[in-house]
Amino acid sequence: MTIETVSQNKAHGGVQGVYRHRSTATGTDMTFAVFVPAHEKGARLPVLWYLSGLTCTHANVTEKGEYRAACAAHGVVFVAPDTSPRGEDVPDDEAYDFGQGAGFYVDATQSPWATGFRMKSYVEDELPALVAAHFPIDPGRQAITGHSMGGHGALTIGLRNPARFRSISAFAPIVAPGRVPWGEKALAAYLGDDRTAWRPYDACALIEDGARVPEMLVDQGDADPFLAEQLRPELLRVACDEAGIALTLRMQPGYDHSYYFISSFMADHVAWHAERLGA
- Verify whether residue 12 is a known catalytic residue: no
Bridge partners, 146 (sequence order): 51
Q: Which of 58, 224, 269, 273 is catalytic?
A: 224
pLDDT tens digits, one per residue of 46-85: 999 999 999 999 999 999 999 999 999 999 999 999 999 9
- What residue spans define the domains of the chain? 13-30+37-277
- Model-level pTM? 0.97
279 has a pLDDT exceeding 90: no
Active site residue 257: yes
Q: What is the pLDDT of residues 199-252, one digit of tens each?
A: 999 999 999 999 999 999 999 999 999 999 999 999 999 999 999 999 999 999
136: DSSP letter: -
In this prediction, residues 14-19 reach a mean pLDDT of 98
CA distances to 148, 153, 223 from 258, rounded to whole Å, are: 10, 18, 11
Looking at domain 13-30+37-277, does it have CATH number 3.40.50.1820? yes
Residue 224 known to be catalytic: yes
Helices first, then strands: H and E counts in the chain = 9, 9
- The catalytic position among 23, 84, 148, 167 is 148
Q: What are residue 78's phi and psi, to 5 degrees?
A: -120, 120
The pair phi, psi for residue 113, each rounded to 5°, is: -85, -20
Catalytic residue among 74, 147, 152, 257: 257
* Terminal alpha carbon distance of the chain: 28
